[in-house]
Structure 1
């Protein structure tokens, strides 16, 4: 079910996007109080923006503006809103998004073509291991997409390995949608309770929230750990509430496929200028076809690299590589630039580590300081030296590391008010 536009030539895709972009710009200039004001202040005539490159005439929209003027971005009366979703608030106050009936249809279409990328077909049964409540857009999107595909869904929600295995044995799902590190907990539970997980009928898992691939698309440590135990196919998917669109891997695992009918993407540097091909930059998105709260040139905060060569799956769309890190989470440490995912990858190499928390603060010299708290199975000075040596080898620097207990870290990492595990805390001034 590859949409026709995704197999078109690069020139056809660009022409199509520019036609859709003109409609979106006209729509927001008429219906969005925020963009009406911005275009008037900057003396921007949207009818003069004909190409993707012309988009640069419009200033970027940041999370700070979304937080400060949330209601001004809404393009429809509240009587048209069917669903209220909020961002997770990882980097500040959550932002509310109102979705119309048409937006929910768009969301379903997005997930249907994304899951199709990952090989899910009519006849499959999918176990949903993420929350569908708490104003979480993704859980609802997954359900709507699978429903559109006429695929069976088991809505178990997050956590509780016992309940997950009870559902797997009872309903025989073929795919799971989950945070990948939870697959290790499922395996651990199965091994402890004599469950023959290798013959459970699970063919694959669509994974959210954690990196399955390195920048060269080789498997991450987490991915390898799962594969060593359980021979199922793992597919990475990347999205955000603001994008209302997913980038999901196909069977060739070379980045998340772009859906040009749904979103325009750019990558920019610190001055909001486009980065050169093959260079990482901050992902900037413009929604297409969103009715309730479309965004123009929204800076996602995610540092990614775009890949433009056609894929062997037949799609000619660009692909988004694994997220290097969040722009606001960039750390300058002893002359080295680091992002939390790189440190998490190093820690994932050790079976002895149960839980970790990375804390960033500002020291007396006004520079970044890193403290990593670890809950481990067996504490020793030798193990501490091994971790530090591994950091030095992989990242050229060694952060401060201290041991603590699983009991101390569990309530912090698995905060009941959060939709996902929290392992990074930024206390910088």
Structure 2
């Protein structure tokens, strides 16, 4: 690993990445059944892949490739595998990822420097409010990263506001690792119990799974509602099992910083070409330093925008803005292109909404239809009209909206074997 590489010049960062890329090509050409087959089928000499621009000579790897040829990506004997994780399967069948001891060390390093990016030090105590079991990589990564950093960690796990507050008041953590919408439940419980969140000693939250910001980095509706009642720093993160790497905001909170010693990133248009600087495209990644299952030009399916202007924190790495949406979840609705996060932002405006799911389908003439199913505290025709008006004002379209009881919505949000809530149910083939 190369600590503080993010403070070096862009030229030094590129040289390091190209050195690591050459090492990766040598490694996969010897050990990866999948990539050896790709090199042969496309007549590619991996020893000629020496620069970042040379990468475009290699075809992209897709989620479907991972699902279909999962075992062919494994580069080590199974005796070397220490940990097994699976992807969440949001857009298809879950994929198994194996990690060696070296991969777990890399995961710990990734999270330790990610915490450091957000200003967390060995003097801090972190409260983990996400699961560490159920083959979930993120919880394990947080634990390993805190351990490497030397920070304390409290493994409370998901849910149960009463237990979360008991731990906050008992152990005095300084940061929470949390899905941001859960902070609203913690605030609600605190108010019910006469607890002042602002006197809890919590300085900030490392937020996962949901966006905090608009594309211009202003706080979105969800983050604004949190800040109204709990004046803590909110740090966005972006990560996935496939890349075993996180993009985490620094104190400037202007996008998640790239960790160049761990991953190469490309942002591609529909034709597979690099987009112009500052334009949105599909994040495509090449992992560096992964032993068990390295990936080359893996298309994440996430539409993002990169920012290359210097950051006030002094790092010279590219930053990723909030995920605009999943490529496969793009919706063409009444002449407007929508992604679910834009709808989340509208729905999070309403305090009366307890939970929701968004169902996407094709109608009889082959165009997209949206049905939003909502559980509300006080469902009424007035609330329904207010929601529709807000959609019309913010997104210029009004999807179909239905009220359902909370139990029905929760059953849709938490299907059997799910590790996290399913907010979008896409019935399109």
Normalising by structure 1, we get a TM-score of: 0.98
1:97 aligns with 2:97: yes
Deviation (angstroms), 1:106: 0.4
Whole-Å separation in 2 of the counterparts to 1:412 and 1:257: 34
Deviation (angstroms), 1:377: 1.5
Whole-Å separation in 2 of the counterparts to 1:24 and 1:353: 48
1:372 aligns with 2:372: yes
State how many pairs are aligned.
428
| Counterpart secondary structure, 1:154 | strand
Deviation (angstroms), 1:412: 2.1
* Residue 57 of structure 1: aligned partner: 57
Whole-Å separation in 2 of the counterparts to 1:387 and 1:4: 47
Whole-Å separation in 2 of the counterparts to 1:199 and 1:35: 54
Q: 1:166-219: per-residue Cα shift (whole Å, max 9, x none)?
A: 111111111000100000000101111222322111111000000001000000
* Residue 246 of structure 2: aligned partner: 246
Shift >4 Å, 4+ stretches: none
Task: For 1:71-220, list aligned pairs within 5 A.
Answer: 71-220=71-220
- Greater Cα shift, 136-145 or 196-205: 196-205
Whole-Å separation in 2 of the counterparts to 1:325 and 1:73: 27
Deviation (angstroms), 1:4: 2.6
Whole-Å separation in 1 of the counterparts to 2:19 and 2:252: 30
Whole-Å separation in 1 of the counterparts to 2:191 and 2:23: 55
Whole-Å separation in 2 of the counterparts to 1:10 and 1:147: 30
Normalising by structure 2, we get a TM-score of: 0.98
* Residue 45 of structure 1: aligned partner: 45
Whole-Å separation in 2 of the counterparts to 1:301 and 1:155: 31
| Counterpart secondary structure, 2:121 | coil
* Residue 304 of structure 2: aligned partner: 304
| Counterpart secondary structure, 2:350 | coil
1:328 aligns with 2:328: yes
Whole-Å separation in 1 of the counterparts to 2:344 and 2:4: 39
1:295 aligns with 2:295: yes
| Counterpart secondary structure, 1:379 | coil
CA RMSD in angstroms, aligned pairs only: 1.0
Structure 1 stretches lacking a partner, 5+ long: none
* Residue 385 of structure 2: aligned partner: 385
Whole-Å separation in 1 of the counterparts to 2:283 and 2:335: 25
Q: 1:84-131: per-residue Cα shift (whole Å, max 9, x none)?
A: 011011111111111010100000000000001111111111000010
Q: 1:260-317: per-residue Cα shift (whole Å, max 9, x none)?
A: 0000000001121111111100000000000000000000000000111111111000
CA separation of 1:415/1:195 partners in 2, compared to 1, >3 Å: closer, same or farther? Answer: farther
Whole-Å separation in 1 of the counterparts to 2:381 and 2:387: 10
Deviation (angstroms), 1:49: 1.4
* Residue 340 of structure 1: aligned partner: 340
Whole-Å separation in 1 of the counterparts to 2:383 and 2:134: 40
Structure 2 stretches lacking a partner, 5+ long: none
